[in-house]
Chain A
Amino acid sequence: MYEFDWSSIPGALPLLAKGLMVTFEVTLTAIVVGIVWGTLLAVARLSSNKLVSFAAASYVNLFRSVPLVMVILWFYLIVPQLLRSVFGDALGDIRLASALIAFSLFEAAYYSEIIRAGIQSVARGQIAAGLALGMTYAQTMRLVVLPQAFRNMTPLLLTQAVILFQDTSLVYVIGLSDFFGTAYKVGDRDGRLVELLLFAGAIYFIISFAASQLVKRLESRYAR
């Protein structure tokens, strides 16, 4: 019978907290950049310009058709060289930079699909009304369509953020010490892998479940 020994956790808490901050940093960056870039992609995809819409569709389809782990690895192999050739060796943690970029670009593809559906959920007559008042297409999008679209899709965007929060654990493949990576390293060091991974899993569960419940409450409020 396996005997649990949780004693290595208290001492590792500062390290684990640092790891959790990295996890949050990747998550928040990917949410913000992903939504901004995803919005541009969604608008481009709905554009009447065939070339623009094709380019956006290709981007989205490409990123949605490859595993996230591979994207993270690819960017780790490409981005550092690219950044080094620009900035020299003055860079900080190259792994964090490449992870931030990989997640942002990858999530943008998923966000853009959510946002596209959100834009299409706004009645077409609203665009006509904006244009009829003399607004440009861009003004109509920004002032009339997108505010309504975001309101309709807030629950979906938040749900995607919860998934993203869990997916950031994949950065372990490039050795970045996020929450999961730190837990793994501490457990490995102390020979207490099972305890550390159970603990990490519990924390992921608590945060994700709490966030999901929050989304549910938001949803029922919007549905009213």
Chain B
Amino acid sequence: MIEINQVSKWYGSFQVLTDNTTRINTGEVVVVCGPSGSGKSTLIKCVNGLEAFQQGTITVNGVSVGDPATNLAKLRSHVGMVFQHFELFPHMSITENLTIAQTKVLGRSQDEAVSKGLALLDRVGLRAQADKFPGQLSGGQQQRVAIARALAMDPICMLFDEPTSALDPEMINEVLDVMVELAQEGMTMMCVTHEMGFARKVAHRVVFMDHGQIVEDAAKDAFFGTPRSERAQQFLSKILNH
């Protein structure tokens, strides 16, 4: 589904990504972790072309992201993305948030978009909030709406960029529950997150990044059992033993 092949990226002369290669197969859930500043968020933003990269190739469902001829808007319309800071549109109601891209991008009718949006809102347990505005919802609720908004586009895969990092601790689980459910339904997911509990529960593979490079790319059990790299071992011991 997603193939990342020797991708490198520079900001001016500063290299932020170095020769990264990995792949995410259809139906697979891959967790990308690593210390902050390791380039994991940058890498996931390259996957849907929100960030440009200078070397290597990324293909999503066979479409090359870096190719200037690619219609990025069309590609993004079926690659869902969830952001650290939710990024709901504050000037629109929850329902409008869920329908705007369906109608303007996919060309669905208003009725169709609303019923789809409300069904997904129901699924994330927020049907009662349909007429509210994002500012009236808690962080956890906003992030669940953001997930529903992405799902409303019928994505072929989902990208999560630290979806729980901006949340109060007591709200993390309500978001993770939605993600776990999604993973168990077979959604292809690439998740940048520090939630190792989530990784243990549903990830097939774990990718560990440091200094802009993929240091470890292993099946879940291998990663949590005996990570090969010392850097990954240090990282794991730090975030698991507290």
Q: Are B73 and A134 in contact (CB under 8 A)?
A: yes
Q: Are B50 and A131 in contact (CB under 8 A)?
A: yes
Of A128, A134, A135, A148, the residue contacting B83 (CB under 8 A) is A128
Q: Are A136 and B73 in contact (CB under 8 A)?
A: yes
CB proximity to A under 8 Å, residues B83-121: 83, 85, 87-91, 100-101, 104-106
Where chain A touches its partner, the secondary structure class is helix
Indicate if A203 sits at the interface (CB-CB under 8 A): no
B60-84 toward A: CB 8 Å interface, digit per residue (1/0)? 0000000000001111111111010
A129, A135, A144, most chain B CB atoms within 10 A:
A129
A100-130 toward B: CB 8 Å interface, digit per residue (1/0)? 0000000000000000000000010110111
Please classify how large the interface on chain A is, using the bins under 10, 10 to 19, 20 to 34, 35 or more: 10 to 19
Query: How far, in angstroms, from A87 to B161 measured CA to CA in the complex?
Result: 60
Q: Are A134 and B89 in contact (CB under 8 A)?
A: no
Please classify how large the interface on chain B is, using the bins under 10, 10 to 19, 20 to 34, 35 or more: 20 to 34
Of A126, A133, A147, A151, the residue contacting B77 (CB under 8 A) is A133
Q: Are A148 and B91 in contact (CB under 8 A)?
A: yes
Q: List 28 A-B contacts (CB under 8 A).
A: A123-B85, A125-B83, A125-B85, A125-B87, A126-B89, A128-B83, A128-B87, A129-B81, A129-B83, A129-B87, A131-B50, A132-B48, A132-B50, A132-B79, A132-B80, A133-B76, A133-B100, A133-B105, A134-B74, A134-B105, A134-B153, A135-B73, A135-B104, A139-B104, A143-B104, A144-B89, A147-B91, A148-B91
A→B interface (CB under 8 Å): 123, 125-126, 128-136, 139, 143-144, 147-148, 151
